[in-house]
Amino acid sequence: MFQLHYRNQIFQSKEDFKEVESAHPTFAKAAFSFCEAWLSGENNFIQKTSGSTGTPKSIQIIRHQMLESAKATGAFFNTNSTTKLLCCLNPEYIAGKMMLVRAMVWDCPIWLIEPKSNPFSDLDNDISPDFVAMVPLQVETCLGDPKALIKLKKISHLIIGGAPLSQSLKSQLIENKISAWQTYGMTETVSHIALAKIDKGELEYQTLPNVEIGQDSRGTIWIKSPMSGPEQIQTNDLVELTSETSFKWQGRVDFVINSGGVKFHPELLEKQSEVIIDAFFPGCRYFFFGEKDEKLGQKLVLLIEKSKPDEELAELLQSKLEIALGKYQTPKAIYFLPTFIETENGKINREKTYQLI
């Protein structure tokens, strides 16, 4: 039976959500408002996109799309009314909203807590959710906390989205035998349309039921599905199709760096360099970028988030990267910035961050 649990209170009907006090934090008010609208039969919802590759925009999502997404995810994981959900993502965004929709469509209980780095710190010890959606930062924090790790291991289906997994995080999930999946999707597809089991080897995404995929001339994936509406959605994501219903993600075409006619996929380079960069600058975020260059058109550079630059260490890092990646895939320059600019939902805004140099 659908019940939303929040701070020792239980909300179930649209009347319950109407009577909510105004003193609640923003994330809770967003959840209550959405649940009331859904239970009242609202058909149209306005949702802001993340803005990870451009200016955030507002799009209209129809109830049918959300319904189909929840049904497809339920069929994929074989959920039922006894499945216990945890919503630890902001309901102002599509990922958080879809956790609420799943609970209402699957007719099962859901616990709403503050969307912070360690969600389990606010969860009663006797509650063990079966189905949870998190971002990588939350998973990483929980892995480092013994009490949170116990709860993490009990989750039947942990789905992780918002950003690609680091190799380190992937290894920790495998070592701890946590049943986890990386999601692929966007606001326009109403959450995920494909999932990749986190296991040894390269991640391979399997589409949800009734999802069609293909590629355009650039090698980027297009999607047609009940959850994304009647129109085919063309993305900027480069993929390798492995079957009619599966693919491997390679990066975004709008991030591709063309240096003297040689094309680099920065996200792939970031995966290949992770262990080396982390050895020199542990815990620092970083990304590769194409800097304008008169001779090459673009040259490959590396940006590292660090309060104090360390040029000596940067030179040593370049040497190690040249051995690992080869001369042409080694960054021509390494820049340090104290803070990266993020989108509203926590992704690195590469273009705006580079402009700070």
Q: Considering its fold, how many domains does the chain have in total?
A: 2
Place 255 in a pLDDT band, splitting at 50, 70 and 90. confident
- CATH number for the domain including 15? 3.40.50.12780
Instruction: Centre a 10 Å sphere on the Cβ of residue 177 and count the other Cβ atoms it contains.
Output: 8
262 and 188 in a single domain? The answer is no
261 and 166 in a single domain? The answer is no
Using the 3D structure, point to which of 151, 186, 208 is the last residue of a domain.
Answer: 208
Mean pLDDT, residues 18-45: 90
Percent of the chain with pLDDT over 70: 97
Using the 3D structure, point to which of 174, 208, 242 is the last residue of a domain.
Answer: 208
330 and 271 in a single domain? The answer is yes
64 and 140 in a single domain? The answer is yes
Ranking 163-167, 177-181, 312-316 by mean pLDDT, the lowest is: 163-167
Query: Are residues 302 and 290 in contact, defined by beta-carbon separation less than 8 angstroms?
Result: no
In the numeric block, the tokens 């491997």 are attached to 248
Place 40 in a pLDDT band, splitting at 50, 70 and 90. very high
100 and 156 in a single domain? The answer is yes
Cα–Cα distance for residue pair 236/327, rounded to 1 Å:
28
Cα–Cα distance for residue pair 348/340, rounded to 1 Å:
7
pLDDT exceeds 90 at position 28: yes
Whether 248 maps to a domain, the answer reads no
Structural domain range at position 343: 256-354
The confidence score (pLDDT) of residue 53 equals: 43
12 and 84 in a single domain? The answer is yes
28 and 107 in a single domain? The answer is yes
Cα–Cα distance for residue pair 317/331, rounded to 1 Å:
10
Condensed to tens digits (0 to 9), the pLDDT of residues 43-102 reads: 999 887 765 444 567 889 999 999 999 999 999 999 999 999 999 999 998 999 999 999
Give the mean pLDDT of the chain: 92
The confidence score (pLDDT) of residue 252 equals: 87
199 and 57 in a single domain? The answer is yes
92 and 175 in a single domain? The answer is yes
- CATH number for the domain including 337? 3.30.300.30
The confidence score (pLDDT) of residue 22 equals: 73
The confidence score (pLDDT) of residue 103 equals: 98
Cα–Cα distance for residue pair 96/81, rounded to 1 Å:
19
Q: Max CA-CA distance within the chain?
A: 66
Whether 93 maps to a domain, the answer reads yes
